[in-house]
Structure 1
Amino acid sequence: MVITNGYKQNENERLIDIVNLTQLEAEAKQIIPAGGFGYITSGSEDEFTLQANRKAFQHRQIVPRSLSNIEKPQTDTNVFGIDLKTPIIMAPAAAQGLAHVKGEADTAKGVAKAGALMTESTYSSASIADVAAGGGGAPQFFQLYMSKNWDFNRSILDEAKKAGVKAIILTVDATVGGYREADIVNHFQFPIPMANLVKFSQGDGEGKGISEIYAAAAQKIGPKDVQRIIDYTDLPVIVKGIESPEDALYAIGAGAAGVYVSNHGGRQLNGGPASFDVLESVAKAVNHQVPVLFDSGVRRGSDVFKALALGADLVGIGRPAFFGLALGGADGVFSVFEHLNNELKIVMQLAGTKTVADIKHAKLLNIQY
């Protein structure tokens, strides 16, 4: 155990036994300090959208297919020209030092071991270089919270390019922070510096709340910003925070190489729809022009399957990786990905789908119970 500014950071490094990811959350709660756990797990306001993210997966049911003559389903896929062992990716998630002393560097190591894709947040506890080193050369994306200060944007994008990231994820649904009551109740302020803010003279995040962190973020983000980042980095730009067909088409029209359907895990606009409930309409509007990424509320292999069947190409997890990180460091993160991927394989077998491409043609029923 390491204590940083009075905050206890775990140093666990081990494979973990997992029954399910919901139970894993209960185990992690025992070792992550209350303020950090509240920040990681809470949503905005009365958490309607946070709860809807989980419930939404019940709105669709997988039609099992027998006599399908398959065995040993394969979860490997290729998206953005990158070969991956699984369509499950690490969603961009800030301040992973709240769960483990090595933070995102350990997450990257575990994700790489699983053959998955790592995405790093601007508000990471670890530097871009350290996260890249943790991944050992495995593919990574960098998520940008665009600042009002374009000098900051340039400097951090330069660092990301230097580290060899394959794409930039531009988050557009967090121009202000959602009203997160757990942070208020816990009087939560970030106890651990955010490495990218320290490096680029934007303060360090330590001792601030989420609203103070977002105060430096750009409040005006439009299609021209997408093109500006493309022109500056010469990298694919994926627009994250899309929840309507109209915005998906705006993003593609602006040059986006990917559309990321997400409501920020229920942490931003409360009262909005579950991401899963808008996925199909967004994917239909995109119509295979660019890859579709998805996150928010994923806890089961069946959730991953359903998202892929409704048009997602990659499916992200956030909070479960924090729990695995807290309990077992890099190996704990690997355990989470392996567990979820193994659940996915079981569902694929029972649904008569051999490959990720086959899942795209699986039939889902829409029956409300």
Structure 2
Amino acid sequence: MTTYYKGFPQSTREEKLHMVNLDELEHEAKYVMPEAAYYYVASGAENEWTWRNNTQAFNHFQIVPRALTGMQNPELNTEFLGMKLKTPVMICPIACHGIANAEAEIDTAKGAKAAGALFAMSTYANKSVQEVQSAVGDSPRFMQLYLSKNWDFNKMVIEESVKAGFTGFFLTVDALVSGYREANLRTNFTYPVPLAFFNEWNGGKGEGQSVAQMYASSAQNIGPDDIRKIKEIADVPVIVKGVECAEDAMLAIGTGADGIVVSNHGGREVDGAPATIDVLPEIAKAVRSCDHRVPIILDGGVRRGSHVFKALALGADLVGIGRPFLYGLALGGAQGVQSVIEQLNKELLIDMQLTGCKTIEDIKHAKIDHINYSADWGISSTSRSVMKPYPVTKENQLTGEAADAVSGASRH
């Protein structure tokens, strides 16, 4: 179940996950991930206000159920830039999947393929683009770019990715330096396993580096010309990742971007930045009104199928997940990643049925309210983080055959 790289434990689990909701996985992942690696994933910048509010802010919007729709059997199939997908949920790029599982990005890509989802891979990946190609063939996938100051390095990443079947790029523009990530400082986190592109380029600089050190070697001055440079190297779509206002969306589109990702880097950069779902409506309105309408992806805090529904209804074309799939990867490998996507799909289908939305396109026209409630945020009363031990009495315990049944009262 565990292998070691220079003493660093890596999960080798490969199994479908059984869960009630995605929040359960965050706790369970502690049992298979070392502390520094776990908190690299499960933390944000500074006081983590933005990190927390990315999820909480979904409660600022309410789904209006519809009755008498005469609809059944909703469908999740969708299309994005010519790619036919089985779900609107996609895998966002995150560095160093090897901290969660020894098969790293290979298993993540396999899980995404099994679920019919778009997979995006980081420049800071542990596995090579060639290894991913061998594992998943022509499945839908994009490469994320952390631009380097060295354009020879950038050219290598772009050309090798395209050759290995990656059909477009996410250009990350919101992480020019590392946010002040206190969890990383407290645990002295450094990338514990090799990063494939950096191994190939300079013999291993990447392994053993902190997040701040890695970002220091990347480009801190990214502008409109960089989109053009990427397109000169490879004639494929370039999506700008890290947009949080309409002005930047218009700037990106005017410079030739083929799409945008509404993202605050998972609350890891500017603490105090608004939640992505809160700024999505303004950005979507601006994009729809321009002459060159491009697709929109939203990420940040997505933990429920209802979150996916709200994002689609407020203007997104795809909805990205980050931390949950890494927990799934740690706990179940490729099948764990697939399980995470399927859990969101399961919840999303319920919301579609109860709102009369047959297709993903129908969700984009669903009725969403924006009402301020005093109880703005809460979690399920049966969440493990708040649920107290169930009282054990002579009167409430199952006996005999019932005690061996799968269902029934909790036994302690």
Give the TM-score normalised by structure 2: 0.88
Q: Tell me if the contact between 2:124 and 2:196 (Cα under 8 Å) persists in the aligned partners.
A: yes
Q: Tell me if the contact between 2:78 and 2:84 (Cα under 8 Å) persists in the aligned partners.
A: yes
Q: Tell me if the contact between 1:195 and 1:204 (Cα under 8 Å) persists in the aligned partners.
A: no
Match of 2:390 in 1: none
Q: How far apart, in 2, do the equivalents of 1:138 and 1:13 lie? A: 20
Q: Tell me if the contact between 1:189 and 1:210 (Cα under 8 Å) persists in the aligned partners.
A: yes
SS at match of 2:252: helix
SS at match of 2:205: coil
Q: Note the C-alpha offset of 1:202.
A: 7.0
Q: Tell me if the contact between 1:112 and 1:136 (Cα under 8 Å) persists in the aligned partners.
A: no
Match of 2:372 in 1: 368
Match of 1:235 in 2: 236
Match of 1:346 in 2: 350
1:318 and 2:319 are equivalent in the alignment? no
Q: Note the C-alpha offset of 1:135.
A: 2.3
SS at match of 1:362: coil
Q: Note the C-alpha offset of 1:5.
A: 2.1
Q: How far apart, in 1, do the equivalents of 2:92 and 2:123 lie? A: 12
SS at match of 2:20: coil
Q: Deviations over 1:55-98 (max 9, x none)?
A: 11000000000111111110100110110000100001111100
Q: How far apart, in 1, do the equivalents of 2:3 and 2:370 lie? A: 49
Q: Note the C-alpha offset of 1:4.
A: 1.1
Q: Tell me which amino acid in the other structure corresponds to 2:17.
A: I
Q: Deviations over 1:248-284 (max 9, x none)?
A: 0000000000011000100111111001111111111
Describe how 1:1-369 pairs up with structure 2 within 5 A. Answer: 1-201=2-202, 203-287=204-288, 289-369=293-373
Q: How far apart, in 1, do the equivalents of 2:135 and 2:47 lie? A: 37
SS at match of 2:222: coil
Q: Tell me which amino acid in the other structure corresponds to 1:313.
A: D
Q: Note the C-alpha offset of 1:134.
A: 2.6
Q: Deviations over 1:284-326 (max 9, x none)?
A: 1111700001100000000000000000000000101001100
SS at match of 1:259: strand
The percentage of aligned residue pairs carrying the same residue is 51
Q: Deviations over 1:196-236 (max 9, x none)?
A: 11112274311111000111110000011111111211111
Deviates more, 1:123-132 or 1:309-318: 123-132
SS at match of 1:368: coil
Q: Note the C-alpha offset of 1:111.
A: 0.4
Q: Tell me if the contact between 2:75 and 2:358 (Cα under 8 Å) persists in the aligned partners.
A: yes
Q: How far apart, in 2, do the equivalents of 1:96 and 1:210 lie? A: 14
SS at match of 2:207: coil
Q: Note the C-alpha offset of 1:117.
A: 0.5
Q: How far apart, in 1, do the equivalents of 2:191 and 2:169 lie? A: 25
Q: Tell me which amino acid in the other structure corresponds to 1:92.
A: P
Q: Return 5+ residue gaps in structure 2 as ranges.
A: 374-412
Q: How far apart, in 2, do the equivalents of 1:328 and 1:35 lie? A: 20
Q: How far apart, in 2, do the equivalents of 1:223 and 1:233 lie? A: 16
Q: Tell me if the contact between 2:159 and 2:233 (Cα under 8 Å) persists in the aligned partners.
A: no
Give the TM-score normalised by structure 1: 0.99
Q: How far apart, in 1, do the equivalents of 2:163 and 2:145 lie? A: 15
Q: How far apart, in 2, do the equivalents of 1:73 and 1:155 lie? A: 43
Q: How far apart, in 1, do the equivalents of 2:131 and 2:269 lie? A: 28
Q: How far apart, in 1, do the equivalents of 2:203 and 2:154 lie? A: 11
Q: How far apart, in 1, do the equivalents of 2:224 and 2:141 lie? A: 24
Aligned length: 369
Q: What is the root-mean-square deviation in Å for CA atoms of aligned residues?
A: 0.9
